[in-house]
Structure 1
Amino acid sequence: MNCHSGTTAIKATKAVKRVALIGMPNTGKSTLFNRLTGATAFVGNWPGVTVDLLQAHININHETVEFVDLPGIYDLNGFSEDEKVVQYFLESFGVDLVIVILNAAQIDRQIRIALQIKALGLPAIILLNMADEAKYYGVEIQVNELSKRLELPVFLLSAKYGRGYERAYREICQKLAESVTTHKITNLKNCLSEKADISVEEMENILTGAVQMPSQIAVNITQQIDRILLHPILGLPLFFAGMFAVFWVVWNVGLPSQDIMDKITGWLQTNAIEPLVSPLPKLAQDFIVNGLWGGLATVASFVPLLVLFFMIMAVLEDSGYLSRSAYLMDAFMAKLGLDGRSFVMQMMGFGCNVPALMGTRVMRSKALRLLTMLVIPFALCAARLQVFVFIIAAVVPNGNGVLVLFSLYLLSFVAAIVTAALFQGVFKNEEPFVLELPPYRVPTLKHVLLRGWGEVKQFLTRASGFITLGCVAVWVVTNLPLGATGLNTIGGQIGQFLSPIMEPIGINPYLTLALLFGVIAKEVVVGSLAVIYGLGADAVTNQIAGTVTFIQAYSFCIFCLLYTPCLTTTATLFNEAKSWKFTLFALAYSFGLAWVASFIFYQSALALGFK
């Protein structure tokens, strides 16, 4: 059997043509996907960012075309979860065109995928991305000769800056106009074993004379910077110093923006919301103003801070620095049964735990995946960040809140380290860790702004429903029975019922209720506090400052950092682990660890005379 007998050609009678983007991790696939479709797919400068099928529809040649950004893979014949996703896609869905994206500076190591796609008989074009970097490194590519040898169109491109994009786009349009059939691999494994097992000799024959690789890339800026940032002694201190700088900027620049948003939401409440609901009964007015609007407005006050946070993270990620954290932490992580990729996923969880959990698909070892998934929910995500900023700003005087905030960031790593040490014997990993560090790159302002806005938009889209639901639920339990107030309400009684568990860790019934609704989504915690107290953001801050001590507030933050993750994270944890037993264990363990950590801190602080 030859490969073409395993490739089914189907007449394109369907209304939507399909284009698939395939390439190794960190070749700029998502950047090109965004440029082609106008979408805002997550773009990062480390391997394994794209871990699911990203889709977008655009109009080309007066017809709808579906673009699919597949996970980055190293080999079509691989066995990792992300490689299985690509294999399943090619066997299950027809394609009219495959765009193979290669890093032009690493074409000698990446040409295999292009040759595999060719061997499978799929219609394709080859885009050699990062052509500007290749030129800088002295890589010379004879595009016409390479295209002739591959028998496929080949283009040099810089998806980041758009150089060469127009020519490549015209070729894509031309190929789609010529497409009258869709192609689906009916037996991928057989095809791969027979025709797509590309030898080193075959790759060398294609490249020799068409590609000139420098015998040794000269010392460049990346290597000079890495001598300092990857220094065996200075590397980690510099990394954590950089992360402290991130929190300093968030605290000293982002926090003041909350006051501006508070004034805007306050003005809207006084001049729009309250006059609009004034004809309604008092109970309905209270529900809309103090319940729904109060909670949503409090959460909205943190939007500028989150935009700033995500923009800073975009700079760190797109520059290539965060991927080096995996290299720095690998030796230490290996002693705990993890590796550098686990640290990268922990950093991804810094924005949201969900994509970090999905990112574990790049790991072939099931044990490594499970252990990594167990520690990821301890990452200080953006939702928890706004809770901590809100609480710390209320109880920490003299602008020292950034130190407290950074200590919680460090605590998230301590929790991950303790967890890995406890369970490395249960989840034994023997998979080797291989990482190719990308060169340092200067992020474009457009990408940084798109990332900041895109992440916040995703954050609000994902959380808005939960926030609304949570605020409504909190208002109901804090206003029933009718006429009841404070601890006499349903919510107050729930808080009192849980007091034997929460009092030993310094958390009062009001804060307990907020944590309870935080299981829906951590963003709900801040909104629920406004609803529970029936006050605006400033008034709630003053209320907490007057009723909650520092050690109570810090114990609350510890518990919020470590306890049961939100519903979306829990659902993702189950989907990735495919085990209810593991999911329930992870939930129970995180709650137990949160309580023990808060108990040790709070009781130790009391014993030392702190209040």
Structure 2
Amino acid sequence: MSHCAPAEADLSVNDIPRIAVIGQPNTGKSMLYNRITGASAHVGNWPGITVSLANARVKIGGRMTEVVDLPGIYDLEGFSEDETVVSGFLQAYPVDLVIIVVNASQIDRQILMPLQVKLLGLPAVVMLNMADEARRNGITIDPDALSARLGLPVHLISAKYGEGYPDAIASVGKALSDHDGKPAAFADYDTLRATLMTPETLATTIDGAVRYPETPPKTMTQRLDRVLLHPLFGLPLFFAVMLCVFYIVWALGLPSQDAAGWITDWVQAHVLEPVLDLGPAWLKNFVINGIWLGVATVASFIPLIMLFFFLMAAVEDSGYLSRAAYLMDTWMRRVGLDGRSFVMQMMGFGCNVPALMGTRVMRSQPLRLLTMLIIPFSLCSARLAVFVFIIAAVFPPAQGPLVLFSFYVISFVAAFLAAALFSRSKQFKNTEPFVLELPPYRVPTIRQVWLRGYGELRIFLHRATNFIIVGTIAVWFLTNFPTDATGLNTWGGQLGEFLQPVMAPIGINPYLTLALIFGFIAKEVVIGSLSTIYAMSAGLVAHQIGLTVSPVAAYSFCLFCLLYTPCLTTVATVRAESRSTLFMVFSLVVSLVYAWLVAFVFYQGARLLGFS
């Protein structure tokens, strides 16, 4: 089964039935996709989360079927990048069935899409998702009556809890069987564009089939929003929640890191070293110091990273992050951004790449470019591992969570300052209005959090596996040649010394400089390369750094690592999403200069004040 693969990978081959899953943002579309396929597509409780095509192959109705999760859109005739992605897909790739996911609490506002799909001439099944929420809101739905009006099968379901799912998926299987022998269909956009869809048409479709209460019941969401969206206390509460997240990561993540480190040390002492002792000394040195120590150091952070992903998934799926975007919109507008930019920056705390892709929901190109410029300042999971390692090595344990949280706050402040500076340019001037739908608060299920956290962890491990080994091997060569040299006399040491006129003013020594150079490949390499540079296990490296690096220098190192040049994958994504090599180079120069200036001001300022 193929999960979350780019559509271009194999969608041109249609030897098996193909189902396209479409719907507006925040309808639970990707959650339904996960339930159908068992995949781990990104699921979140705020608009714009699905930004690329995910596909998986799974048996439905006894036959192998390809299921494609398309980006969430508001209008099949829209002109945002995501909307053109969907229209382009439906016109370029034939489908045997479309699953239209509609929020059951908002049928009156979302009925347009099923009507549009019907005009496109595509066979379809309508899933009225979040049926449990509709009931709590006093909404009564007659799916049979609605099905008769639409001329399409309609099912009430809850993708979150599985309510109505067996009957709905059986209906999908039947629809595929009924389509046997017929060619897969391309979307007929000419008919859609030639048909005028009036408000009267929409109202007639649901009249009598959907009944709303005269007096909507007061919900938990309304009660919570009185506090969490308070104009004075809302933002402090949000940052207090995030501080709690980092406290949990610190309190539970560090012990788990020690346990993982004990396992990797045991494997080295009882498996690798006895086997490698049978071979030449250079091979043992290469395998242990060139590969294993770097990989083992990163592996020791896997429990901590997983915990961070799970906690962020719970906060995200609860619906709280969209409130944060709403609260931040006023502040973001003062620096030329809006609440969506804040959402994308929050996405960047997992990985910058999907956050950059998420900017496709913005119709304004200046807003997109400005948002893409600041997203790499987000404290991504790879940087999180670096900071935890350095903070634990240098700072007292009681100060750890606060020091870690300070980088979270600084990432926002740095982004706002950069946006305020560059928004003055005409190239980044935004005129697009900000519209964001606030979903109800929801209690995340264990399954949701697991799928989201595991999906993020899988991406992290895939990236780490690809880059860590290459990076640590490169570091090993630089720190072991010439063969008769050691320490700063090696090629790596000489490179670090060569850059000291630039790095010494910000308190970064040659060893840490070399780690930062290889961090350009991927920030995970910074941690792995430290073990290779020092030729020590993670625990011994932490002890050595604690002895040789002052708290001020350590903080300056983390500041530079937070803001300097992003990883290669992020750089490539900036180039692809902006479609401009010039903008990519501009963003690289900005981040590098910005990082140095911030670290310089902090380090020299701290020394002037008498800190060391």
Who is 2:6 aligned against? none
3-state SS of 2:521 partner: coil
Give, as a single letter, the amino acid of the residue that structure 1 aligns with 2:453.
Answer: G
3-state SS of 1:58 partner: strand
Who is 2:566 aligned against? 565
Cα distance change on mapping 1:161 and 1:233 into 2, 3 Å: same
Who is 1:137 aligned against? 137
What's the CA shift string for 1:154-200, capped at 9, x where partnerless?
Answer: 00000010010000111111111121234444662x333212x4211
Who is 2:335 aligned against? 336
Give, as a single letter, the amino acid of the residue that structure 1 aligns with 2:463.
Answer: R
Give, as a single letter, the amino acid of the residue that structure 2 aligns with 1:455.
Answer: E
Who is 1:508 aligned against? 509
Who is 2:604 aligned against? 603
3-state SS of 1:126 partner: strand
Cα distance change on mapping 1:223 and 1:55 into 2, 3 Å: same
Who is 2:481 aligned against? 480
What is the correspondence of 1:263-412 to structure 2 with a 5 Å cutoff?
A: 263-412=262-411
What is the correspondence of 1:37-436 to structure 2 with a 5 Å cutoff?
A: 37-179=37-179, 180-185=181-186, 188=189, 190-195=190-195, 197-426=196-425, 427-436=428-437
- Displaced runs of 4+ in structure 1, greater than 6 A? none
Give, as a single letter, the amino acid of the residue that structure 1 aligns with 2:564.
Answer: Y
Partners of 1:404 and 1:372 lie apart in 2 by 26
Who is 1:545 aligned against? 546
What's the CA shift string for 1:203-259, capped at 9, x where partnerless?
Answer: 000111111022342221100000000000000000001110011000111111111
The CA deviation at 1:13 is 11
Give, as a single letter, the amino acid of the residue that structure 2 aligns with 1:425.
Answer: R
Who is 2:444 aligned against? 443
3-state SS of 2:571 partner: helix
Partners of 1:120 and 1:186 lie apart in 2 by 5
Partners of 1:531 and 1:182 lie apart in 2 by 58
Give, as a single letter, the amino acid of the residue that structure 2 aligns with 1:42.
Answer: H
Do 1:26 and 1:45's aligned partners in 2 also have CA atoms closer than 8 Å?
A: yes
**For structure 1, which segment, 17-26 or 440-449, has the greater mean C-alpha deviation from structure 2 after superposition?**
440-449
**For structure 1, which segment, 172-181 or 567-576, has the greater mean C-alpha deviation from structure 2 after superposition?**
172-181
Give, as a single letter, the amino acid of the residue that structure 2 aligns with 1:568.
Answer: T
Do 1:92 and 1:184's aligned partners in 2 also have CA atoms closer than 8 Å?
A: no
Which stretches in structure 1 are left out of the alignment for 5+ residues? 1-11
3-state SS of 1:569 partner: helix
What's the CA shift string for 1:372-426, capped at 9, x where partnerless?
Answer: 0000000000000000000010110142111111111111001110111001122
Do 1:44 and 1:314's aligned partners in 2 also have CA atoms closer than 8 Å?
A: yes
**For structure 1, which segment, 372-381 or 421-430, has the greater mean C-alpha deviation from structure 2 after superposition?**
421-430
The CA deviation at 1:14 is 4.7
Give, as a single letter, the amino acid of the residue that structure 2 aligns with 1:444.
Answer: T
Do 2:23 and 2:29's aligned partners in 1 also have CA atoms closer than 8 Å?
A: yes
3-state SS of 1:21 partner: strand
What's the CA shift string for 1:480-502, capped at 9, x where partnerless?
Answer: 01121001100001001111110
Give, as a single letter, the amino acid of the residue that structure 1 aligns with 2:316.
Answer: E
Partners of 2:265 and 2:334 lie apart in 1 by 52
Do 1:103 and 1:129's aligned partners in 2 also have CA atoms closer than 8 Å?
A: yes
3-state SS of 1:56 partner: strand
TM-score of the two chains, using structure 1 as the length reference: 0.96
Who is 2:3 aligned against? none
Who is 1:528 aligned against? 529
The CA deviation at 1:60 is 3.1
Give, as a single letter, the amino acid of the residue that structure 1 aligns with 2:605.
Answer: S
3-state SS of 2:522 partner: coil
The CA deviation at 1:124 is 0.4
The CA deviation at 1:279 is 1.4
Partners of 1:530 and 1:133 lie apart in 2 by 51
> How many residues get paired?
598
Partners of 1:377 and 1:161 lie apart in 2 by 36
Partners of 1:34 and 1:101 lie apart in 2 by 13
The CA deviation at 1:15 is 2.1
Who is 1:458 aligned against? 459
Do 1:23 and 1:73's aligned partners in 2 also have CA atoms closer than 8 Å?
A: yes
Partners of 2:188 and 2:157 lie apart in 1 by 33
Partners of 1:238 and 1:63 lie apart in 2 by 50
Partners of 2:192 and 2:77 lie apart in 1 by 7
Cα distance change on mapping 1:495 and 1:157 into 2, 3 Å: same
What's the CA shift string for 1:427-480, capped at 9, x where partnerless?
Answer: 011111111100000111122122222211111012211011001100010000
Who is 2:594 aligned against? 593
TM-score of the two chains, using structure 2 as the length reference: 0.96
Do 1:395 and 1:544's aligned partners in 2 also have CA atoms closer than 8 Å?
A: yes
Do 2:120 and 2:188's aligned partners in 1 also have CA atoms closer than 8 Å?
A: no
Do 1:386 and 1:523's aligned partners in 2 also have CA atoms closer than 8 Å?
A: yes
Do 1:15 and 1:64's aligned partners in 2 also have CA atoms closer than 8 Å?
A: no
Give, as a single letter, the amino acid of the residue that structure 2 aligns with 1:238.
Answer: L
Give, as a single letter, the amino acid of the residue that structure 1 aligns with 2:421.
Answer: L
Do 1:530 and 1:536's aligned partners in 2 also have CA atoms closer than 8 Å?
A: yes
Partners of 1:433 and 1:461 lie apart in 2 by 35
What's the CA shift string for 1:509-558, capped at 9, x where partnerless?
Answer: 00000000000000000000000000001100000000000111000000
Partners of 2:549 and 2:197 lie apart in 1 by 66
Pairwise CA RMSD of aligned residues?
A: 1.2
Who is 1:517 aligned against? 518
Which stretches in structure 2 are left out of the alignment for 5+ residues? 1-11
3-state SS of 1:71 partner: coil
Do 2:40 and 2:452's aligned partners in 1 also have CA atoms closer than 8 Å?
A: yes
Do 2:138 and 2:217's aligned partners in 1 also have CA atoms closer than 8 Å?
A: no
Who is 2:555 aligned against? 554
3-state SS of 2:398 partner: coil
Cα distance change on mapping 1:182 and 1:367 into 2, 3 Å: farther
3-state SS of 2:65 partner: strand
Give, as a single letter, the amino acid of the residue that structure 1 aligns with 2:530.
Answer: L
Partners of 1:244 and 1:182 lie apart in 2 by 55
Partners of 1:398 and 1:472 lie apart in 2 by 32
What's the CA shift string for 1:49-75, capped at 9, x where partnerless?
Answer: 000000001123453211000000000
Do 1:306 and 1:456's aligned partners in 2 also have CA atoms closer than 8 Å?
A: yes
Do 2:121 and 2:188's aligned partners in 1 also have CA atoms closer than 8 Å?
A: no
Cα distance change on mapping 1:225 and 1:345 into 2, 3 Å: same
Instruction: Using the aligned pairs only, state the percent identity.
Output: 59
The CA deviation at 1:323 is 1.2
